[in-house]
Amino acid sequence: MPTDYSTVLPRAQKLCTLRSIAKNALATMHYHTLEKPLPPSEKITLFTCNIFPPNAVVWHHLVRKYFGDRVETFIFDCSGNLDPKLVPGAKVHKYFNAMHPTKIDVFLRKSACHRKCVWICDDDIFPISDRALDVLPQEFAVPNTATVSLHPRNWWHFAIDGREYEASGSYCIALDRDIFVEKEHLNAQPANGNVHPAHNGKGRRRYDTLDKANETLLMRGYRCAIVGKESRDACMRGFDGTSGGALLLWYLGSKEKVLRFFHEPRDEQWGGNLLFGLLNSLLAIHEIQKMYAHITGAPYPLPALPEMADLEQIRKRTEPHLAHGRSYGEVEEAGKSIAASL
């Protein structure tokens, strides 16, 4: 029976969440009932969530290398499989795999309630230098700055009162918590009804994580800074959606099923987002595996991950059918940049 591609990731996400609830339920209850907030500090508080331990290990290795003790790092371990010994110095807490905006809101209001600058960063967006620790204070020094983004959304923008603004995104963004939470009482939740101009011609759609809050801040006159591309590329480099690839590997469970998943679609189906994004994420996971082995001495066990040669064959076959402007080459380029920074 042909695979219904549109349902694979939602099913994998649902099963992963159920497994995470079973595994992390007690730890999550402990967090909400007994965990104390982080003590007051002027340091930047760096927060990420993880379902794929190799990401966290590589990410934290680079955080420690370039930021040292100038930041405090907090990780929600949503798989329950992250060994804290592999991320020394980070505060790791098991937490069930709730929706990402919910985890952000929980952290902002509970653990970070005594902190001013909270930096939310996906664990597949990696520091490649220490420049971000200069860039963030410079941007927040500009009056009325509420957020600073190092990885904005690039496929739509805000149109407000005749002006255009980039969407800050939620991948790598620092918040002035006093403004975001205490003064404006905002949250990270998504919402319906986004009719701002899309660069791909789509009409009404959803506001994703932090988008509605971003719009509200702009409408209330706050500055939501977007660091220039040259500067942000010198600070951070990353991959898109490695968690989707990790979910696919876990859900399908074998190399044979994963390869069948990518061999079955017709050529024209590769013009959409899903298949391109998932193959991209598996190529990225291979890059992360090499870095993880460099750090720990051995690759992470991923029995369902196909060999790179098999993925390269699929890449070569499908690349001519991708939508205009898309390429798998960005993964290779980012991988080289991140690996060189190790």
Contact 293, 253 (CB under 8 A): no
Instruction: Specify whether domain 5-237 bears CATH 3.90.550.10.
Output: yes
**Per-residue confidence (pLDDT) for residue 200, from 0 to 100:** 77
User: What local confidence, expressed as pLDDT, does residue 240 receive?
Assistant: 87
Q: What is the pLDDT of residue 3?
A: 59
Residues with pLDDT less than 50, the chain: 1
> What is the predicted pLDDT for the residue at 324?
83
What integer pLDDT is reported at residue 233 of this predicted model?
94
Question: What does the alpha-carbon distance between residue 122 and residue 226 come to, in Å, rounded to a whole number?
Answer: 17
pTM of the model: 0.95
Diameter over CA atoms, the chain: 59
Q: What is the pLDDT, as a whole number, of residue 6?
A: 77
Strands (E), the chain: 44-50, 71-77, 91-94, 117-121, 125-127, 145-149, 153-160, 163-167, 172-176, 191-194, 205-207, 223-226, 236-238
In a 3-state reduction of DSSP, which class is residue 95?
A: coil
| Whole-angstrom distance, CA of residue 99 vs CA of residue 107 | 13
> What are the domain boundaries of the chain?
5-237, 239-341
